[in-house]
Amino acid sequence: MEAVHSIVPIYAIAVPLVASILIGLSGKKPNLREFWSITAAVLQFSLVASMLPSILEGNTIEFFLLTLFPGIDISFRVDAFGFFFAFMSSFLWIITSFYSIGYMRTLNEHSQTRYYICFAISLFATVGVAFSANMFTTFLFYEVITLCTYPLVAHKETTTAMKGALKYVVYLLGASLAFMLPAIFLTYLTAGTLNFDTQGILAGEGTDVLLIIIFVLFIAGIAKAAMMPFHSWLPAAMVAPTPVSALLHAVAVVKTGVFVVAKVILHIFGVDLLFQLGIGTVFIYVASFTLIAASIMALRQDNLKARLAYSTVSQLSYVILGIALLTQSGITGGVLHIVLHGFGKITLFFAAGAIYVATRKTEISQLNGIGRQMPFTMAAFTLGALSMIGIPPLGGFLSKWYIVFGSLEAGQLPIIIVIVASTILNSCYFLPIVYAAFFKESAKSPVISDALTDKDSSHVTYRTSLKEAPVFMVVPLALTGIGTLVLFFVPSVFLDLAKMTALTAIGGS
């Protein structure tokens, strides 16, 4: 593996930050404002994609910025795993940008300039986390994500929105300051560095008790991963506009959480050390509990976004579960699930937003017959749901397949039972929505001509169909829905990167 020194990672990180300034300056010109948002998204993705050939050759791309203290730097390093995360995030930002235009304009939302500014800054920070070379740089960008997404969660500025946003920021910022910051401090004192390493940096350092304490502090501090009992901020954050919910679940916030958990497992502790401490097995069962318990809670939700939120809490545990197995197949499956869940879940949230824009419906019990009224939206929803369940030929099947093999490699046969049970629960909370949408009769809404009086009911007609949401919303959700199908048949780039991540972690052990 060769280290290539390049400033391209800095350009990729900086593009949305510069765009946020241009968006702010263009606030009174909506077309120009949204032009900057889309241009930045395309440019960032292009810069990230330009590094793909070098990464596939097994190289890393590095850029050093400055040293604050001995062993504490602000520096960047693009490896297969970091590239994987940035590639997915920057691509989905392009699609979400178009979707946001349709959503925000159709609903005539207020504070749209602030919305686009915060959205851009969140992608600046997300790619910053992906390309960070050490835990200190990671922490800085991780907290920027929390702060810049707070206004997005509170966007509606209602009492409910403010309460949800307050819970959001208290959980995430509070957990970081109370647990993750002490973990970083103890790691620095123990290892003398915070730089990520493929073998981990804590092996042979400190006592077993101290290392276990550091691990527990890290996991408790990374609340963005939404593992129980640090998960309730996520359903509370569903008061945000639907494009923000899509951002939280599929691109930036929770994906950043599981990404950082993976970096701690693989590059702070390392596979060998976790085997030695026996932490991996305990963590597997914690993730398994979250996976099942959150699925059961999802079953109880009638609000569509709330059900999707609890589904995310459950689905994120597949990522953590696969990586915690500490086997090649398990790590491959866990990493691969980041992108497969990303495409599936963003499709589901896009569909939920389209339903709201077209019908103002938010409850699952209101969706009877909606599939015949919004066929493109619900067809995409179905693809996303089937991918989340893990039914072939949808992408979600692949990650579960690798995690099952990882369980066999680790000798963790009970985990296969957990995966099967979770799959059944996924089916129980997704398939009834699909069935009701396409096979149940919808309530007919009367449409009365303005020329009619209250007494003249002979000319009352009934609406039997509804139009789809605006094209700026339907096309993005159709593309991500198709993406869940394409990723089953052509997963090559993401699968190659996931396998490289796993081989590096296991090969370094």
Is residue 315 within 8 A of residue 429, CB to CB? The reply is: no
DSSP code at position 72: E
Cβ neighbors of 415 (< 8 A, separation 6 or more) are 284, 288, 321, 325, 403, 407
Q: What is the pLDDT of residue 130?
A: 96
Phi, psi for 4 (deg, rounded to 5): -105, 125
Of 503, 346, 385, 367, the residue nearest 437 (C-alpha): 367
Residue 420, domain member (yes or no): yes
pTM: 0.92
Residue 216, domain member (yes or no): no
Burial class (CB in 10 A: 0-12, 13-18, 19+), 229: exposed
Residue 334, domain member (yes or no): yes
Residue 365, domain member (yes or no): yes
Residue 441, domain member (yes or no): yes
Cβ neighbors of 400 (< 8 A, separation 6 or more) are 318, 333, 337, 390, 419, 423
Average pLDDT over residues 300-316: 92
Range of the domain at 295: 278-449+459-509
Counting DSSP H helices and E strands in the chain, the numbers are: 22, 5
Tens digit of pLDDT for each residue in 86-106? 999 999 999 999 999 999 999
Phi, psi for 17 (deg, rounded to 5): -65, -45
Tens digit of pLDDT for each residue in 189-231? 999 999 999 889 998 888 899 999 999 999 999 988 878 888 8
Query: Is the pLDDT score of 397 beyond 70?
Result: yes
Crossing angle for the helix pair 112-131 and 8-25, to the nearest 10 degrees: 170
Question: Alpha-carbon distance 391 to 385, whole Å?
Answer: 9
Is residue 83 within 8 A of residue 51, CB to CB? The reply is: yes
Residue 225, domain member (yes or no): no
Residue 387, domain member (yes or no): yes
- Which band of pLDDT confidence, cut at 50, 70 and 90, is reported for residue 243? confident
Is residue 462 within 8 A of residue 444, CB to CB? The reply is: yes
- Which band of pLDDT confidence, cut at 50, 70 and 90, is reported for residue 1? low
Please state, for a pLDDT cut of 90, what percent of the chain lies above it: 76
Phi, psi for 113 (deg, rounded to 5): -65, -45
Instruction: Please count the structural domains in the chain.
Output: 1
The two three-digit tokens of residue 471, written as one number: 């094209």
Q: Which amino acid is at 9?
A: P
Is residue 118 within 8 A of residue 149, CB to CB? The reply is: yes
- Decide which of 49 and 243 is more confident: 49
Residue 375, domain member (yes or no): yes
Q: Where are the alpha helices (DSSP H) in 374-463?
A: 375-389, 396-410, 413-439
